[in-house]
Amino acid sequence: MKLLAFAGSSSTQSINKKLVTYAAGLFSAATETQILDLNDYELPLFSVDREKLIGQPPIARQFLDKIEWADVLFISVAEHNAGMTAAFKNIYDWASRQKKLVFDNKPVLLMSTSPGRNGGLNALEAAQISLKHYGGDIRATFSLPSFSHNFDTEAGVISNKELDDALKDIITHFNYAPRA
């Protein structure tokens, strides 16, 4: 069972990357785990005009290759102005020009966190809508509100027992079996 986990953020201090890394460590069914960094997949903003100039960037193909490698995806989306980050949306905009079903119909645990009480729920909702059109088979969602109050960054764990138990329950019961 190969797990690919990443945050939909380009921040080098991404709280969503901390959350998704923690969640990936809880997934005992994984025999191999890769934590992807979106900064390794940076491209100019997508436009059809730019695509005519530069074609299909190999880096977008590399992103697709990582997704194709995986059996399961854990994605934690960051929220910018009540939506997904431009960095996340941009890489899969470019990738979708090479393969429409970017997320390859893989089972997805979709998460979010933010400094605020909403825990990135707007980005989570936007990602749910968008990813399903691009092959994201979202099997479960989780939102961690008030990151600095509920996550111990030194230990790299959720410090709020109720929220930690909720995530552990989701991961324990996560249905990663391929759909028939």
Whole-model pTM over 0.95: yes
Distance of CA 44 to the CA centre of its chain: 20
Instruction: Write the pLDDT tens digit of every residue in 141-154.
Output: 999 999 999 999 99
Domain boundary assignment for the chain: 2-172
Which long-range CB contacts under 8 A does 172-176 form with residues at least 24 apart? 174/27, 174/29, 174/72, 174/107, 174/109, 174/139, 174/140, 175/107, 175/139, 175/140, 176/1, 176/29, 176/71, 176/72, 176/107, 176/139
| Per-residue pLDDT tens over the stretch 8-64 | 999 999 999 999 999 999 999 999 999 999 999 999 999 999 999 999 999 999 999
Q: What is the mean pLDDT of residues 85-109?
A: 97
3-class DSSP assignment, residue 118: coil
Q: What is the mean pLDDT of the chain?
A: 96
Helix (H, G, I), strand (E, B) or coil at 73: strand
Q: Classify domain 2-172 at the CATH superfamily level.
A: Flavodoxin domain (3.40.50.360)
With beta carbons less than 8 A apart as the criterion, state whether 95 and 53 touch. no
Buried (b) or exposed (e) across 125-162, using 16+ Cβ within 10 A?
Answer: bbbeebbeebbbbbbbbbbbbbbeebbeeeeeebebee
